[in-house]
């Protein structure tokens, strides 16, 4: 064995042994993240899990959560894909400001988002007062209000994912289609959308998962009425005071959804060697 190969082996051996000063905090951080989840699994009422999942209020909260999260995702797709295209492909003044405004819900406390929705879409809100007076539409404390609250907090996830996919897409395909006589709408529908389909799918999955787990904006803007606005996170909050076992069961459902989402997006986030 030559000196160079010996040095390489020594370097690899050293690189594979993290210093203790880094290893201890790393393991502590891992334990801090894993132990609460392990506690949830340990304390789960596995023997009565099937029965509790079949209880009417659990099924109702689950059904409402799935329906509203799906509707919110559809609304995010209708609004978010064009918005992402605008940010990625159109040059205009204030694009950075618009991009910053789009990402505000990511860092805004959800309760604040709910208050903001009330001020705009409430009965006396900037827009809500006209919806009520002209069309008799009242959005707060309704199932539609749940969908809007979930859309507000989930839309940035879709926009960011699709915008990133659009920026990474090869423009030569679109240019080639344009030179062959295809119109802008045809290019977008036949070329652009297929190119960024994986980004749209990833954004939609993230959007749906975020909408499913939304709590603060929903309870502030739509309330907590069983059968109408009580989604699974709200049911967990209420069950903690009356039926902790039901809260654990609902939490397990949300945990399972999170694991499925992470598994579905693993190839997008984790690069394999």
The per-residue pLDDT string of the chain (273 residues; one tens digit each, 9 = 90 and over) reads 455 555 455 455 555 677 777 788 888 888 888 888 888 888 888 877 777 777 787 888 888 998 999 999 999 999 999 999 999 888 888 888 988 899 898 888 889 999 999 999 988 888 888 888 888 888 889 999 999 999 999 999 999 999 988 888 877 887 788 888 777 888 888 888 888 888 898 889 889 989 988 999 999 999 888 888 989 899 888 888 887 888 888 888 888 887 877 777 666 554 443
Give the Å distances, CA to CA, from 29 to 20, 25, 38: 14, 6, 14
Please state whether the predicted TM-score (pTM) of the whole model is above 0.85: no
CATH code for the structural domain at 53-269: 1.10.3720.10
Find the DSSP H helices in the chain: 3-15, 20-42, 49-53, 56-89, 95-107, 110-121, 128-130, 143-168, 171-179, 184-187, 193-195, 197-212, 216-221, 232-242, 244-264, 266-269
**Any idea where the domains of the chain sit in the sequence?**
53-269
What is the per-residue pLDDT across 14-43, written as a single tens digit (0 to 9) for each?
Answer: 556 777 777 888 888 888 888 888 888 888
């Amino acid at each position: 064995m030559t000196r160079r190969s010996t040095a390489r082996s020594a370097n690899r051996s050293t690189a594979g042994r993290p210093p203790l000063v880094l290893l201890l905090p790393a393991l502590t951080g891992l334990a801090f993240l894993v132990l609460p989840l392990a506690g949830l699994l340990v304390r789960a009422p596995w023997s009565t899990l099937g029965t509790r999942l079949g209880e009417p209020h659990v099924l109702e909260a689950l059904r409402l959560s799935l329906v509203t999260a799906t509707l919110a995702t559809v609304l995010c797709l209708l609004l978010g894909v064009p918005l992402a295209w605008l940010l990625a492909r159109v040059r205009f003044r204030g694009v950075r400001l618009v991009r910053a405004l789009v990402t505000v819900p990511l860092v805004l406390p959800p309760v604040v988002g709910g208050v903001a929705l009330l001020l705009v879409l409430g009965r006396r809100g900037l827009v809500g007062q006209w919806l009520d007076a002209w069309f008799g539409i009242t959005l707060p404390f309704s199932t539609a209000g749940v969908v809007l609250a979930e859309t507000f907090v989930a839309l940035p996830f879709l926009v960011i994912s699709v915008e990133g996919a659009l920026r990474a897409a090869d423009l030569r395909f679109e240019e080639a289609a344009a030179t062959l006589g295809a119109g802008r709408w045809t290019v977008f529908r036949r070329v652009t959308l297929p190119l960024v389909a994986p980004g749209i799918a990833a954004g939609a999955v993230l959007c749906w998962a975020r909408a499913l787990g939304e709590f603060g904006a929903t309870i502030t803007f739509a309330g907590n009425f069983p059968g109408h606005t009580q989604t699974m996170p709200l049911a967990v909050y209420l069950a903690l005071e009356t039926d902790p076992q039901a809260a654990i069961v609902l939490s397990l459902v949300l945990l399972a959804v999170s694991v499925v989402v992470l598994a579905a997006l693993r190839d997008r986030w984790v690069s394999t060697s």
